[in-house]
Chain A
Amino acid sequence: MIGPALIASATLTGLVASVLLFRGYLRRDNGYVTVITPLIGVTAGLLVVALGYLTYQFVVTDYTNAYVWNNTANYIPLLYRITGVYAGNEGSVLLWAALAAVVAFWAAVRRGIASPDAKLVQGLTVGIVTYFAAMLFFDSPFTAITEEFPEMGEGAAPLDGTGLNPLLIDPYMAIHPPVMFIAYALLTMPFAIAVAHFISTIRGNGGLFSDWIGSITRWLRISWFFLTAAIVLGSLWSYRVLGWGGIWAWDPVETAVLIPWIFLTATLHAVMNYRSRSTYGTLAPAMTATTFALVIYATAIVRSGVFRSVHSFADGGIGFALLVLLAVTTILGVCLPFGYWLLREPAEPAEESQPWLTRANLLHLAVLGIGLLGFVSVWGLSFPVLNSYITGMEVEVTGDYYNLWSYPIVLAMLLLLGFYMDYDVEGRRRALLSLGVFTTATVLAAVVAPTDSWLLATSDTNDALFYQLIGSASVLSLLPPAAYVCLTVINRTLEYVHGSPSRNYQFKQVGVAMVHIGFVILVISVAFSYLFTAQSSVIIADSEQEAALDDSGVHDVPDSSYAVEVTDYREYQRPDDPDIRNVAFSVDEVTARGDSIHETVQPVYGTVTEVNQGEGATIVQLDDSQIWLGVVGDGQADVDVSEGDQVVGVGYVMWEYLPELSQTDAVVVTDPADIGTVTNPPASLDQTRVQGSAVGLTVYDDGERLASGEAGQERYLQQGGMEVRNVFVDRGLTHDTYVIAAVDEGTASLTIRQIPLMNLMRGSTGVLLAGMLVIILFDPAYGLVRTWSRRTEQPITTETPSDD
């Protein structure tokens, strides 16, 4: 009852707070203003406590909660019990709601809610939180197991859960979703501010974007930081766990999360360039509002089951609620700005003969280019669905579609970035000259391909012209623009850092350089890594025998410099030491539950203290108690139990079954197949969840011992026999060695992959994230760490000092 009460109270306080906020905004009064912030705090507190309580239920495996029962099991270690909290829809919505509520409370405390604008912004944010809370009220993660399965009987509680999707049992998975939801929760604030801006503008109150630009920039940057981290963590997870797909496979769900990321990146560039009356007066707030709508779109895709994918663990229907939210956020975040732009935006003063080459125009081109990149992903995801609805024909969108369309756009964007950085410090003439040089170099490099593996795609003559053209370009074409960006960014940073007395400004420039260089290196390493991954296979037919030998043979892997030796072979199962108490009741527990489990099927164990062999039944007393096991049906006479045996049986619990026997409270009526000993329980009580097989391997490269480790597979019996590969990854300086094994009755089929540049990829994402962190902290205008001079000289600026 605690869980539903917490959710209900949070919905109620959230609702009251948002109603009061909207009332205050519409009537322009400050009535109740003193209670609103505490109310938001209470809402946030209740949701956090609810999340904590759900986590607690998972940790202690409280299976009276159906959601816990559905998403964990006794054999799962503590860390992954916590993963279970957000393994399903209800739990992840609770996590999102709790985080969004904390963000709303933080903003209310820091900025206050005295002004009408602040009331509107807070009203929208708290409104979204309340909506989530209401969703949880109707689709609760706290539904009692007896409510979901009334046939279990009132007091019943399962002794073991059904388990967690094996793909989620991984350390990266334990942190990837929370990081993602932090990003999503943080985006609520910019969305609310941007929507409030349009409402306020349309109502003739002048808008609030320019007053809140500091807050918006900070929220957007911090969300970008977390969203990037979440995508990186997700990629590492799919690299390690799935065993198929690698770090990026253009799975619909991966594409879906990339869309808000690309859009957020474009939004950040637009917001940087925002000037209230002239540049981006409409576009920057519009993009800010749209980003959150895209987040809801991404979530709807992940949860809807419209696009089946590797992530199909998440399906099962989002229900109506998320679709309504998608509609609302689309109306507020996309249609409202678009309508304003179409109907109300004041005409810009027409200035003929504006120069083409200005920083503002270059940035505008960057925003558009990133937007175009986002469009490629949105379209790739959406058109197959549209097409199959319209024509009934299913078309294929492979990784090649995304890669080949994105490639020229990325090249153009890199050249543009280099040009912008160069133009900024070197002036028009020189910048145009170097752009020409590097563009030529790019085009020339595109035709230089030492071997076929340098080509972007293996195109055949059936492919469309564009795919053939881009597909036959060489990956070398990435290097000139990459070098161009690195050189110009470093040059510009040195110039700016050198000429500025402000330490914060210098830090920010270094941060900007890190983000852009990190991104460029990431692009290069991903492209080269994918094209130069080499793979070969070998089958070792009698690996089990080989493992037993002291000096087993070394097998050359065909078409590669690798050789492998099998050093170990094992088959195992989990839990490895099952305890009958995990799945069956003692007689005391049956007695304690009493009448409530009358006529339900329950497992019971105990020591036999008396055996009565009758004609139609064999009756066995357990632990000298009032609880008996009654074996009926064919073969009951052959059941071999004697006093002192420890037995376990599954059957219908019948109270007052034999009223004539005074020492009998209940008989558990079972049949011969459902009774066994504690060490050899009947099949229905078999606790084996995971059957695994693994081979220990030593991998040699050119005769040198490279690494040793274990690879294998696990079969999850109670998850439809789902198989998960445990890959063996050896991280080397220049490349990873990655071994996938399929082990079947002693035969090991090994696939060995050599994946280059993984460390460069890991390093570049580190630089990218660190760079953004530096910008978040030290930006002289909106950084979290204020400059010394700013604090002492000029506390009065366009924004209030505490405006998060």
Chain B
Amino acid sequence: MTPRKILTIVLVITALGIGYYSMNTASVLSDESYTYHGDTTWKTDVDTAMETAVAEDKPVLVYFWTTWCTYCEDYNKNAYVDPDVNDRLDDFVLLAVNLDDSSPEAKDLQQRYNANYPPQHVAITPDGELLVEINGYAETNSFIAYLDEAQSKWESR
């Protein structure tokens, strides 16, 4: 074995190690029924979310996102780990729509609330009536203000 061969083998093993380790430790973004953002868990099925909202008598917060949107990462980093935000989110049924998802229900929501770029949020009643719209990235304070506004509209309905 020459030094070059030994070096090559060591580096190949390193590469395999990186591959194995990173694949096993990558954070799960979504499985069959939920997607995960920060510390929050969102439903992905439109019908289930709407049914839950009716059953629990809660408004629905719809989050339009994609894997490649950097402002969505900002939401994950700032908003969805914030205890104040999470407190308020408990009063909503959470529904995340991946804008790259091509299912007809997702496309329908996208069109109805004119969500054509990520990130966007809409708070709606279970019958689909719009409460509040948050276009683009909102700093955590104003994000909370939007959520409060949606909640008070929901209550005074």
Least Cβ distance of A355 to chain B in Å? 8
Bound complex: CA A405 to CA B22 (Å): 9
16 inter-chain pairs at a CB distance below 8 angstroms, sorted by A residue, are A252-B68, A307-B68, A351-B2, A355-B3, A375-B15, A379-B18, A379-B22, A387-B23, A393-B31, A395-B28, A395-B29, A396-B26, A399-B73, A405-B22, A466-B21, A722-B117
Evaluate contact between A721 and B114: CB separation under 8 angstroms.
Answer: yes
> Restricting to A95-143, which residues have a CB under 8 Å from any CB of B?
none
Evaluate contact between A466 and B26: CB separation under 8 angstroms.
Answer: no
Q: Cβ of B152 < 8 Å from any Cβ of A?
A: no
Q: Cβ of A397 < 8 Å from any Cβ of B?
A: yes
Evaluate contact between B19 and A383: CB separation under 8 angstroms.
Answer: yes
Bound complex: CA A341 to CA B111 (Å): 55
Bitwise interface map of B from 116 to 133 toward A, beta carbon under 8 Å scored 1, else 0: 110000000000000000
Chain B residues near A354: list those with CB within 8 A: 2-3
> Restricting to B52-111, which residues have a CB under 8 Å from any CB of A?
66-71, 73, 77, 81, 100
Chain A residues near B69: list those with CB within 8 A: 244, 310
Chain B residues near A307: list those with CB within 8 A: 68
Quick one: given A309-B68, A379-B19, A387-B23, are A396 and B29 in contact (CB under 8 Å)? yes
> Restricting to B4-28, which residues have a CB under 8 Å from any CB of A?
4, 7-8, 11, 14-15, 18-19, 21-23, 25-28
Residue tally, chain B, CB below 8 Å to A: 39
Q: A392-B31, A393-B28, A464-B25 are in contact. List 8 more A-B contacts (CB 8 A).
A: A309-B68, A310-B68, A355-B3, A369-B11, A372-B18, A539-B142, A721-B116, A742-B136
Which among A361, A394, A537, A722 is the interface contact of B3 at CB below 8 angstroms? A361
Bound complex: CA A722 to CA B99 (Å): 14
Chain A residues near B18: list those with CB within 8 A: 372, 375-376, 379, 405
Q: Cβ of B30 < 8 Å from any Cβ of A?
A: yes
Quick one: given A308-B100, A379-B19, A398-B73, are A371 and B117 in contact (CB under 8 Å)? no
Chain A residues with CB under 8 Å of chain B are 244-246, 249, 251-252, 307-310, 348, 351, 354-356, 358, 360-361, 364-365, 368-369, 371-372, 375-376, 379-380, 383-384, 387, 392-399, 401, 405, 458, 460, 462-464, 466-467, 537, 539, 720-723, 742
Bound complex: CA A396 to CA B22 (Å): 11
Bound complex: CA A249 to CA B3 (Å): 38
Q: Cβ of B155 < 8 Å from any Cβ of A?
A: no
Quick one: given A392-B31, A722-B117, A723-B117, are A401 and B26 in contact (CB under 8 Å)? yes
Bound complex: CA A721 to CA B120 (Å): 14
Chain A residues near B21: list those with CB within 8 A: 464, 466
Least Cβ distance of B11 to chain A in Å? 4
Q: Cβ of B149 < 8 Å from any Cβ of A?
A: no
> Restricting to B25-45, which residues have a CB under 8 Å from any CB of A?
25-32, 35
Q: Cβ of B139 < 8 Å from any Cβ of A?
A: yes
Evaluate contact between B25 and A245: CB separation under 8 angstroms.
Answer: no
Evaluate contact between A368 and B8: CB separation under 8 angstroms.
Answer: yes
Quick one: given A348-B2, A365-B7, A458-B77, are A396 and B117 in contact (CB under 8 Å)? no
Bound complex: CA A358 to CA B4 (Å): 10
Least Cβ distance of A335 to chain B in Å? 18
Quick one: given A372-B15, A539-B142, are A383 and B3 in contact (CB under 8 Å)? no
Bound complex: CA A721 to CA B117 (Å): 10
Chain A residues near B73: list those with CB within 8 A: 398-399
Evaluate contact between A396 and B27: CB separation under 8 angstroms.
Answer: yes
Least Cβ distance of A347 to chain B in Å? 12
Chain B residues near A308: list those with CB within 8 A: 66-68, 100
Which among A251, A369, A375, A394 is the interface contact of B29 at CB below 8 angstroms? A394
Bound complex: CA A632 to CA B135 (Å): 43
Which among B7, B29, B67, B139 is the interface contact of A361 at CB below 8 angstroms? B7
Chain A residues near B28: list those with CB within 8 A: 393-396
Bound complex: CA A375 to CA B4 (Å): 19
Chain B residues near A376: list those with CB within 8 A: 18
Chain A residues near B4: list those with CB within 8 A: 360-361, 364
Q: Which residue of B lies closest to A387 (CB)?
A: B23
Evaluate contact between A372 and B3: CB separation under 8 angstroms.
Answer: no
Least Cβ distance of B120 to chain A in Å? 11
Evaluate contact between B116 and A720: CB separation under 8 angstroms.
Answer: yes
Chain B residues near A372: list those with CB within 8 A: 11, 14-15, 18
Bound complex: CA A234 to CA B23 (Å): 29
Bound complex: CA A372 to CA B68 (Å): 24
Bound complex: CA A369 to CA B25 (Å): 23
Evaluate contact between B117 and A249: CB separation under 8 angstroms.
Answer: no
Chain A residues near B81: list those with CB within 8 A: 460
Evaluate contact between B30 and A394: CB separation under 8 angstroms.
Answer: yes
Evaluate contact between A368 and B30: CB separation under 8 angstroms.
Answer: no
Quick one: given A244-B69, A539-B142, are A356 and B22 in contact (CB under 8 Å)? no
Q: Which residue of A lies closest to B14 (CB)?
A: A372
Evaluate contact between B30 and A393: CB separation under 8 angstroms.
Answer: yes
Least Cβ distance of B154 to chain A in Å? 23
Evaluate contact between A401 and B3: CB separation under 8 angstroms.
Answer: no
Determine which residue in A244, A361, A380 has the highest number of CB atoms from chain B within 10 A of its CB, and name it: A244
Chain A residues near B136: list those with CB within 8 A: 742
Determine which residue in B14, B29, B71, B73 has the highest number of CB atoms from chain A within 10 A of its CB, and name it: B29
Bound complex: CA A464 to CA B20 (Å): 13
Evaluate contact between B71 and A244: CB separation under 8 angstroms.
Answer: yes
Q: Which residue of A lies closest to B118 (CB)?
A: A244
Bound complex: CA A723 to CA B136 (Å): 10
Evaluate contact between A364 and B7: CB separation under 8 angstroms.
Answer: yes
Chain B residues near A458: list those with CB within 8 A: 77
